[in-house]
Amino acid sequence: MNKMAPVPLPEPWQGETYHGRPTLKPAEFDWKVAAYIAVQGAAGAAQVLAGVSRIEDPGDRNGLASRARAFALAGSVIAPAILIGHLKTPKRWYNMLRIVRPQSPMSWGSWVITAFGAASFAAWGAERMGWGRIADFAQIPASLAGAGAATYTATLLSTTSNPLWAAAPGPLAAQFAASSMAGGAAAVALLQRKAGKIESAQRLERLSAAALGAEAAASMMLSEAQRRAGVSAPLKKGPPAVLHKAGAQALGIAAPLLFRALGRPALASAAILLGGALLRQAVLRAGDESAKRPLDSLGFAREVRR
Amino acid sequence: MDGGLINPGRQEAERTAGARIEPGRSYGFFTDTTLCIGCKACEVACKEWNGLPADGDMRLSGHSYDNTGALGAETWRHVGFVERLDDRPGEMKPFQSNWIMFSDVCKHCDPAPCLEACPTGALFRTEFDTVVVQQDICNGCAYCVPACPFGVVEISKADGKAHKCTLCHDRMKGGMEPACAKACPTDSIQFGALEDLIPRAHERVEQLQEMGQDRAYLYGAPGTPGATHGIEKLNAFFLLTERPEVHGLPSEPVRPAPRAQPSLIAGLGTLAGLAAAALVFGLGGRR
């Protein structure tokens, strides 16, 4: 930490920029990253629910834990494959496992999702082999890594110099985590409904609605914090704002609650999953806009903001 | 001890920059905007030495004489031009006309947010305390791009790897000062060991103030604007006479890494709360 008082600058900042040019570069994480965050989030949360179900219902009489494990395993394989596709040099994906760097959420996150995949495979495989106790033992790391996989993507975005992503690390992470839980519960609810386990599906649907409530609350805190930091413009106007309002809020939060009220729970679950992906895409696109706005970036890096 | 240097005898850098290059010491640039004449020799020398292609489509930007635009994957020195004719009419401060030139470069921050973000170890701190991307390791994940507080690092569309100034790591290995500093005709860009450069820069500020340029200050030296919020120093630091924002520099750059903790607490807490709700209200029993 620098304890010395900074040298006074010639005069207060009046909003000058360098010819209005951007001072930061956009990350340009494409739609694959948005899809990755949504799939990994839902899969991670499903593995948390598998753990909850094993505690609540040790006999797995409704098959929830088994289906949640299968969904989580599928997600833990598909999501990293999508992520590797976004790399600009994908054939070197394995360099992600070359080092462990605690300061980099991209580094330890790679290890978390690797552990998530391995533990998910162990839990699913042991169960298929009829080794229930081994499956339950593997469930512990699988659920813990699942919680990490459902959350760390927000940490990854906040731990940058991007004004929009960095403005409020806590609310952004709460928003992503709640959206992940809504998606995980919605996905497992769809599987339970298909298997005819209606009561279990209904309870999962209620949980996903509660998670949407938490997501809405976190979103309100987030937009208030972004407004106070002077970085909220990309989510107020322009294409990312439209995506955020129509995709994340209308389709992702309002529509599922409406579908539930109309007695169309499967439709509600599908809307939650799609809305979760659109939320992530809106946040990524708005972040790219944020980086291109010199008043936002220069204003943000002016006072202590962690 | 030659530390793997190609030329352990009298080095070219000693003749051209008065600096002996030895592994284990900290090196950097002191870029003095009051001496810059906007000749762009640094940009050209950098492109020549590093084999970097020309910028863009050769169109005029309309931003004074700056047709380079910004630092990026293929531009590691960038001369900015600010004309202060409208806002300070009839006033001409000594030592800096109303036309301010500024040669920007990667700051080689300490600690470096790009390096802290890099998941592959491609970005590393060299034996000269500079920050370099190892091209044979980078996999183009692009996480260093938003991590940089100065918008310096960029992924090349040509090869899908991150690129930025290396402080001419290859030249330093050979006992030569970086190409931009060597080409600079006014010594606006000075290369050397930080233990020499920092006192020299403070003396220059005092000298300018004695001559009547009371707006001069350092940006990025320890304890000055630019070295703030966890960033201890910029190995490439500057002498400015305008606010940093005028040159597109943040007045108080922030090291992003400490934001991980509040993020993780909130995210995992939210997830744990919802999982606890699932446990309390139940997930459906037998049906």
Query: pLDDT digits over B130-165, tens only?
Result: 999 999 999 999 999 999 999 999 999 999 999 999
B74 CB near a chain A CB, below 8 Å? no
With respect to residue B280, please indicate whether it lies within any of the assigned structural domains: no
With respect to residue B227, please indicate whether it lies within any of the assigned structural domains: yes
Contact status, residue B131 vs residue A59, Cβ threshold 8 Å: no
* pLDDT, tens only, A24-37: 999 989 999 999 99
* pLDDT, tens only, B22-39: 999 999 999 999 999 999
With respect to residue B275, please indicate whether it lies within any of the assigned structural domains: no
Interface of B with A in 234-253 (CB under 8 A): 241-253
- Tokens at B226, concatenated: 């630019």
With respect to residue B2, please indicate whether it lies within any of the assigned structural domains: no
CB-based contact B119 A104, cutoff 8 Å: yes
Select from B27, B17, B26, B32 the least CA-distant residue to B238: B32
Select from B137, B168, B162 the least CA-distant residue to B71: B162
In B, which residues are within 8 Å of A16 by CB distance? 243, 245-246
CB-based contact B252 A304, cutoff 8 Å: yes
**Angle between helix A64-86 and A132-158 (nearest 10):** 40
Q: How far apart are the first and last CA of chain B?
A: 76
Name the phi and psi angles at B29, rounded to 5. Answer: -115, 140
Give percent of chain A above pLDDT 90. 81
In A, which residues are within 8 Å of B278 by CB distance? 49, 52, 185, 207
Reduced 3-state DSSP string for B9-28: CCCHHHHHCCCCCCCCCCEE
| pLDDT bracket for residue A264 (50, 70, 90) | very high
Q: How far apart are CA B144 and CA A34, in angstroms?
A: 18
CB-based contact A17 B284, cutoff 8 Å: no
Please check the confidence at residue A1 and state whether its pLDDT lies above 50.
Answer: no
| pLDDT bracket for residue B200 (50, 70, 90) | very high
The 8-class DSSP code of residue B239 comes to E
Q: What is the mean pLDDT of chain B?
A: 90
Q: How far apart are CA A267 and CA A58, in angstroms?
A: 30
CB-based contact B119 A106, cutoff 8 Å: yes
**How confident is the model at residue A13, as a pLDDT?**
87
Select from B221, B217, B224 the least CA-distant residue to B233: B221
Please check the confidence at residue A103 and state whether its pLDDT lies above 70.
Answer: yes
Contact status, residue B241 vs residue B96, Cβ threshold 8 Å: yes
The 8-class DSSP code of residue A287 comes to H
Contact status, residue B246 vs residue A298, Cβ threshold 8 Å: no
When computed from its CA atoms, the radius of gyration of chain B, rounded to whole angstroms, is 22
**How confident is the model at residue A304, as a pLDDT?**
46
Give percent of chain B above pLDDT 90. 73
Please check the confidence at residue A232 and state whether its pLDDT lies above 50.
Answer: yes
With respect to residue B131, please indicate whether it lies within any of the assigned structural domains: yes
* pLDDT, tens only, A62-72: 889 999 999 99
| pLDDT bracket for residue A48 (50, 70, 90) | very high
Alpha helices in chain A (DSSP H): 31-56, 64-86, 105-128, 132-158, 163-166, 169-194, 198-228, 239-242, 255-261, 265-291, 294-300
With respect to residue B136, please indicate whether it lies within any of the assigned structural domains: yes
- Tokens at B18, concatenated: 């008065």
| pLDDT bracket for residue A284 (50, 70, 90) | very high
Please check the confidence at residue B10 and state whether its pLDDT lies above 90.
Answer: no
Cα A80–Cα A84–Cα A86 angle in degrees, nearest 5: 120
Optimal mutation site among A29, A82, A155, A176, interface B, most CBs of chain B within 10 A: A155
Please check the confidence at residue A244 and state whether its pLDDT lies above 70.
Answer: yes
Quickly count helices (H) and strands (E) in chain B: 8, 12
Q: Please list the residues that pair with B109 across neighbouring strands.
A: B234
CATH number reported for the structural domain that contains residue B226 in this entry: 3.30.70.20
Q: Which helix (H) or strand (E) holds B163?
A: strand B162-163
B146 CB near a chain A CB, below 8 Å? yes
With respect to residue B14, please indicate whether it lies within any of the assigned structural domains: no
Q: How far apart are CA A288 and CA A165, in angstroms?
A: 10
Q: How far apart are CA A221 and CA B259, in angstroms?
A: 17
For chain B, what is the domain count?
1
- Tell me the Ramachandran region of residue A287: left when phi exceeds 0, alpha when psi lies from -120 to 50, beta otherwise: alpha
Q: Please list the residues that pair with B239 across neighbouring strands.
A: B32, B218
With respect to residue B172, please indicate whether it lies within any of the assigned structural domains: yes
Contact status, residue B138 vs residue B166, Cβ threshold 8 Å: no
Residue range A197-223: mean pLDDT, rounded: 94
**How confident is the model at residue A11, as a pLDDT?**
82
- Tokens at A225, concatenated: 């914090």
Please check the confidence at residue A5 and state whether its pLDDT lies above 60.
Answer: no
Q: Please list the residues that pair with B240 across neighbouring strands.
A: B217
Contact status, residue B146 vs residue A24, Cβ threshold 8 Å: yes
Domain that holds residue B185: 23-259
**How confident is the model at residue A3, as a pLDDT?**
43
Q: How far apart are the first and last CA of chain A?
A: 14
In A, which residues are within 8 Å of B86 by CB distance? none
Q: How far apart are CA B285 and CA B287, in angstroms?
A: 6
**How confident is the model at residue A235, as a pLDDT?**
94
Please check the confidence at residue A198 and state whether its pLDDT lies above 80.
Answer: yes
**How confident is the model at residue B87, as a pLDDT?**
56
Name the phi and psi angles at B128, rounded to 5. Answer: -105, 15
Please check the confidence at residue A300 and state whether its pLDDT lies above 90.
Answer: no
Give percent of chain B above pLDDT 70. 91
Contact status, residue A53 vs residue B283, Cβ threshold 8 Å: yes
Determine how β-strand B27-32 pairs with β-strand B236-240. parallel
Q: How far apart are CA B38 and CA B42, in angstroms?
A: 9
- Tokens at A207, concatenated: 């949980």
**How confident is the model at residue B218, as a pLDDT?**
95
**How confident is the model at residue B54, as a pLDDT?**
86
The least confident of A8-22, A110-124, A185-199, B198-212 is A8-22
Q: Which amino acid is at A93?
A: W
In A, which residues are within 8 Å of B150 by CB distance? 23-24
* pLDDT, tens only, B231-286: 999 999 999 998 999 999 999 999 999 999 999 999 999 999 999 999 888 886 65
Count CA atoms within 13 Å of residue A124 on its CB side. Answer: 19
Q: How far apart are CA A142 and CA A70, in angstroms?
A: 12
**How confident is the model at residue B61, as a pLDDT?**
85
**How confident is the model at residue A305, as a pLDDT?**
42
- Nearby residues of A141 by Cβ (< 8 Å), 6 or more positions away: A115, A119
Please check the confidence at residue B98 and state whether its pLDDT lies above 50.
Answer: yes
CB-based contact B223 A7, cutoff 8 Å: yes
Domains of chain A: 31-300 (1.20.1630.10)
**Cα of B50 to nearest chain A Cα, Å:** 22
Q: What is the mean pLDDT of chain A?
A: 92
Q: Which residue of A has its CA nearest to B213?
A: A10
In A, which residues are within 8 Å of B281 by CB distance? 203, 206-207
CB-based contact A89 B140, cutoff 8 Å: yes
Contact status, residue A149 vs residue A40, Cβ threshold 8 Å: yes
